[in-house]
């Protein structure tokens, strides 16, 4: 138990928090944190930016926007589990190759449910490609107008799935940010225009090994089932990836996989890395999406963070989700917290101030 009466985090929780860059030295850049985690869930644009904030020091939301817009060093695309993720531009190619082919059947089924027959879906994909080639980058609304003009249904969720179809075919990604800093409007671009010519495809075995190694760097220790769920791949593929890097894995007695030396990042074997007193994490934070179970980071009797597939912003206290929070009028507002120590209260105030600084428009 800690001095506050809360259970101390387990060694496993402490190791995963370190792998997630939520304890220890932070990353220095947007690309540094994105590359370390490999893929950051990004259907909530503010949540993806806040995931970067929590794992870096001194950056602003504008830095994420610049990486997406000016640098083209990161992009957003439908990848793991058919969900939007923020990834390095250089990682887009092999992750798309590895994680999207199995999604085609589901997209076709959803389009049929939305009243879009295959011939119309094909026509829409062509319209999107030609529109971006001639007029891109274009927003969803701008592409919707062009697709509707071609006589293809765009009502309901039809347009979302048509955009996903073009993305899964390797035609498009989400690139530059439109509007205010930290805005939700991200324009679509042609992959070939935005990222240039693709590199040679990776053989599948090499790609699975790369996936396993990069996943463990940001999520280890973990199991094969954790990797499979996070990537949206069959369990057999996860096992093949881990087998491909077996020589680089640590010897463990608990059945978990971690990279050799991952438990000893402080330079002293056997010591758990320090756990932060308080962290404010955004919607869909990677800490709750990286493994088959998220119970390790949920406080007993704590708030309901996940509702109907939505992951709300939450306060991490001593490694566990202890309360929800939101932004109101540019200020952080937290739900009622359990009794905090003086250091924890100071850490909460510092975190709130840093979130407000991070999200504020640059001067």
Strands 278-281 and 314-317: antiparallel
The Cα–Cα gap between 243 and 220 comes to 15
The Cα–Cα gap between 219 and 40 comes to 12
State the greatest distance between any 2 C-alpha atoms of the chain, in Å, as a whole number. 66
Tell me the pLDDT tens digit for each residue of 185-239.
899 999 999 999 999 999 999 999 999 999 999 999 999 999 999 999 999 999 9
DSSP letters of 49-110? HHHHHHTBSS--HHHHHHHHHTS--EEEEE-GGG-EEEEEHHHHHHHHHHHSGGGHHHHHHH
Tell me the pLDDT tens digit for each residue of 251-276.
999 999 999 987 554 433 345 557 88
Q: What pLDDT score does 265 carry?
A: 46
DSSP letters of 149-167? HTT---TTTHHHHHHHHHH
Is 60 exceeded by the pLDDT of residue 58? yes
The Cα–Cα gap between 32 and 88 comes to 9
The CB density around residue 58, as the number of other CB atoms within 10 Å, is 11
Q: Which two tokens stand for residue 284?
A: 């869909």
Domain ranges of the chain: 30-194, 204-251, 275-359
Tell me the pLDDT tens digit for each residue of 125-157.
999 999 999 998 999 999 999 999 999 999 999
Spell out a b/e string for 241-278, using b for 16 or more CB atoms within 10 Å of the CB, else e. Answer: bbebbeeebbeeeeebbbbeebbeeeeeeeebbebbbb
| 30 touches 73 (CB < 8 A) | yes
Q: Which two tokens stand for residue 165?
A: 């179809």
Q: What pLDDT score does 361 carry?
A: 85
CB neighbour list of residue 161: distance below 8 Å, 6 or more residues apart? 107, 110, 111, 114, 116
Question: Residue 323's closest CA among 343, 304, 309?
Answer: 304
pTM: 0.93
The Cα–Cα gap between 292 and 229 comes to 6
Q: Determine if the peptide bond prior to 45 is cis (ω within 30°).
A: no
Q: What pLDDT score does 273 carry?
A: 57
């Amino acid at each position: 138990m800690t001095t506050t009466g809360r259970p101390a985090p387990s060694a496993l929780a402490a190791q995963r928090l370190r792998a997630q860059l939520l304890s220890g030295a932070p990353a220095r850049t947007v690309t540094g944190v994105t590359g370390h985690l490999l893929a950051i869930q990004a259907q909530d644009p503010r949540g993806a930016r806040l995931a970067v904030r929590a794992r870096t020091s001194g950056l602003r939301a504008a830095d994420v926007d610049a990486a997406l817009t000016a640098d083209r060093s990161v992009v957003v695309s439908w990848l793991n589990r058919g969900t939007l993720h923020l990834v390095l531009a250089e990682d887009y190619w092999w992750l798309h190759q590895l994680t999207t082919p199995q999604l085609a059947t589901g997209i076709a089924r959803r389009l049929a449910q939305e009243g879009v027959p295959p011939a119309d879906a094909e026509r829409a994909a062509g319209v999107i490609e030609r529109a971006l080639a001639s007029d891109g980058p274009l927003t969803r609304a701008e592409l919707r107008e062009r697709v509707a003009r071609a006589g293809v249904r765009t009502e309901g969720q039809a347009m979302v799935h048509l955009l996903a179809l073009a993305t899964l075919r390797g035609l498009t990604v989400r690139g530059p940010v439109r509007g205010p800093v930290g805005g939700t409007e991200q324009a679509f671009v042609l992959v070939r225009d935005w990222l240039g010519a693709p590199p040679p495809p990776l053989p599948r075995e090499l790609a699975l090994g790369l996936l396993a190694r990069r996943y463990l760097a940001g999520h280890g220790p973990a199991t094969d089932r954790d990797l499979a769920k996070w990537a949206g791949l069959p369990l057999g593929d996860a096992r093949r990836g881990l087998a491909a890097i077996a020589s680089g894995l640590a010897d463990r007695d608990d059945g978990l996989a971690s990279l050799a030396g991952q438990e000893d990042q402080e330079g002293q074997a056997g010591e758990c890395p320090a756990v932060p007193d308080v962290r404010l994490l955004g919607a869909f934070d990677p800490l709750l999406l990286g493994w088959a179970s998220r119970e390790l980071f949920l406080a007993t009797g704590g708030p309901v963070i996940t509702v109907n597939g939505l992951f709300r912003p939450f306060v991490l206290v001593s490694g566990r989700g202890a309360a929800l929070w939101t932004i109101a009028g540019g200020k952080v507002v937290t739900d009622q917290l359990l009794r905090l120590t003086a250091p924890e209260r100071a850490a909460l105030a510092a975190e709130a101030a840093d979130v407000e600084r991070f999200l504020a428009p640059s001067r």
